[in-house]
A and B are shown apart, each in its own frame.
Chain A
Amino acid sequence: MIDIRNVYKTFRTPDRREVKALVDFSTSIRKGEVVVIIGPSGSGKSTLLRCLNRLEEIDSGEIIIDGVDIYNRRVNINKIREEIGMVFQLFNLFPHKTVLENITLAQQVVRKRSREEAFEIARGLLHKVGILEKENVYPAQLSGGQQQRVAIARALAMRPKIMMFDEATSALDPEMIGEVLDVMKTLAREGMTMVVVTHEMGFAREVSDRVIFMDEGQIVEEGTAEHFFTNPVHERTKLFLSQIL
C-alpha cells in the first residue's frame, strides 16, 4: 500500500547547516499493517510521516501510495491527502469551530457531503471516540485527551485508507494517555493501516505488526514488538530502549 524507495530529505537550518532527516530510506507498508516507529528525537520519525502526505518536499527518491507516485508533479496532492488521516502531537483542532464543526468542515468542503450527512458521520465518530456529549463545545473547553480524540474523529471522518499518528500522546497528561491509546487500539483491531510514531511501548506490544527503530534518518532495526523487548540486536537500539522503558 505504501512504498518508500530511497528517500533523502535534508533540512537547512537558519544558520545554513544541513541536517539529514532521511537518508536513503526505504520500506514498504502492507494494507492493514500497523507499523510503530520509534527512535530518539531528531531521528527523522516525524519527517518520515510528514513526507508520506507531502507536508514536506523530499530531495530524491519515491513514495508510492496505492500505486500513485505522490511526488509526481502532475499528481493532485489534495486527492492523496483525503485518503491519509493525520493526527498531530498538538492536536491542531480549529479553535474557532465547535467540536462538531471541526469534524464536519473538511467533509463538506473536500468530500462535498451534505450538511446532514456530515453531521451524521461526525456524531457516529464522536460516539466511537466516546465524547458525543461535547459536540457543541469549543476545543478550548476540552481536556487534552478529549481534544486528541476529536482530532482522531476529524481525521476518520474523511474515511481515510491510512491513518498516521505523530506522537499523538506525547503532549498529554499521563492520566489521559490511556483514553487516546484505547481509540487507537480499536482502530488497529478494525484493520486500519496505521503508521504510528510513539514512545508507548505497551501500544506497540499490544497491536503493532512491526516496529521500526530509526536513528539519524535510517532504519537501524526492525521486527515485531516482541523482538524489541526480548532480544534487540543493535547497541543503539538497546541503549534507546533502556532509556525509555
Chain B
Amino acid sequence: MMRQVKGGGAWASPFSFFQRRMGVTFNKRSLITLGIFAIIATTAYYFFTEKGITYIWHWEKIPEMLFYYGPKSADDPAPRFRMGVLMIGFVLTLKISLSSIFFGIIIGTVVGIARLSHEPVTRRLAHAYVELIRNTPLLVQIYIIYFFVGSMLRLSAFAAGTAALSIFAGAYVGEIVRAGIQSIHKGQMEAARSLGMTYAHAMRHVILPQAFKRIIPPLAGQFISLIKDSSLVSVIALADLMFQGQQAVARTYYAFEIYFTVALLYLVMTFTLSMATQYLEMRLAISD
C-alpha cells in the first residue's frame, strides 16, 4: 500500500516512490516551482548553446507595431500619433469580443430560461440549439456562417464573425444560466409569485439577479475562452489581433517577437476581464 508521506497529503502519493529514493519531500508548490524552473532552463539552454538556433532578436521593431508617429500613407500624410498594426488588431479583437459577450449573454439568458420552460416545443428547441452548437467545431461554424449565411444575408466579415462567436457563446452561457436558475431555491419563485408578481417579474427582479451572482465565476471562464477563441475569426480575413500578427510575421519574419507580443496583448484582455469579474464578485458579496 501507498505510504503517506509527511507534508505531502493525498496529492503527493504518486510521487512517494521518488520521494523515498531521493530522500526529499515534494509538495505541490515546490513541484510547480521546479517545473517552471525546468522550462526556463531548457529554453535558455537551447538559445545560448550551439545546439540552439541562432536568432537575432528585433524587439526594437515591436513598438512601432503598437503606436507610431508619422504619416499613414500618401492619402493621409499628416504626421501624428497613430496605432500600429498590432494595436489595430487589438482594438478589433476587443470590439468583436465585447459584442459577442454582449449578444452571448442575451442569447444565453433566453436559451437558459427556454430550457426550463413548461412548453415542450420551446424547451426542446433550446436543447437542440445547445447540443448542435456545443458539439460542432467553432471553426466550422465560422465558415458556415460567413460563407453560407453571410453571403445569403450579405453580412460583412465583422457581422458574420460576431454572429458566429455570439451563437457559439450563447449555447454555453445558456447552460450556465440554466444551472444558475436551477440553483436558486424554489421558495424564491413561490414567494415572488405569491405576492402577485408575474413569472417575468419574478425572473427579472428575484431569480436572475441571484442566479447571476452565482454564475459569475463560470461566466468569466466562458468569456475568457471566447476572447481567445475570437482568434479563429482571422480565417475569414477579419483583421483581428491574430490576423494582424500573422500578416506582420509574413512581412518581417520576426515571428518570435510578434507572437510573444500578440500573446501578451491577449493576456492583457483576458486578465483585465478576470480582474473585473473578481471585483464584481466582491461588490455583490455585500448581501451575504
Contacts and interface: CB of A to CB of B under 8 A. Distances in A.
Contact of A158 (B188, B196, B286): B196
Contact of B190 (A88, A95, A97, A105): A88
A96 interface: yes
A110 B191 contact: no
A84 B194 contact: yes
B193 interface: yes
B124 interface: no
A78 B190 CA distance: 12
Interface in A141-191: 151, 154-155, 158
A112 to B, nearest CB: 11
A53 B191 CA distance: 11
A53 B209 CA distance: 25
Nearest to B194: A86
B196 A82 contact: yes
B195 interface: yes
Interface residues of B, number: 22
B201 A110 contact: yes
B196 A94 contact: no
Given A96-B213, A138-B287, A106 B197 contact: yes
Interface string B30-71: 000000000000000000000000000000000000000000
Contacts of A158: 195-196
A86 B286 CA distance: 28
A94 B197 CA distance: 14
A79 interface: yes
A151 B191 CA distance: 9
A92 interface: yes
B195 A81 contact: yes
B213 A81 contact: no
A111 B286 CA distance: 29
Given A95-B210, A105-B205, A109-B205, A78 B198 contact: yes
A106 B205 CA distance: 10
B252 to A, nearest CB: 53
Interface string A78-110: 110110111010101111111000000110011
A68 interface: no
A79 B193 contact: no
Contacts of A55: 190, 193-194
A140 interface: yes
A151 B192 CA distance: 11
Contact of B195 (A98, A138, A154): A154
B76 interface: no
Contacts of A111: 196
A81 B206 contact: no
Contacts of B75: none
B119 interface: no
B195 A106 contact: yes
B214 to A, nearest CB: 11
Contact of A81 (B193, B205, B209, B286): B193
Interface in B160-203: 185, 187-188, 190-198, 201
A78 B196 contact: yes
B194 A53 contact: yes
B287 A82 contact: no
Interface of A: 53, 55, 78-79, 81-82, 84-86, 88, 90, 92-98, 105-106, 109-111, 138-140, 151, 154-155, 158
Given A82-B195, A90-B187, A111-B196, 18 more contacts: A82-B196, A86-B191, A88-B190, A92-B185, A92-B187, A92-B188, A94-B192, A95-B210, A96-B210, A96-B287, A97-B287, A98-B287, A105-B206, A109-B201, A110-B197, A139-B287, A151-B191, A155-B194
Interface of B: 185, 187-188, 190-198, 201, 205-206, 209-210, 213, 284, 286-288
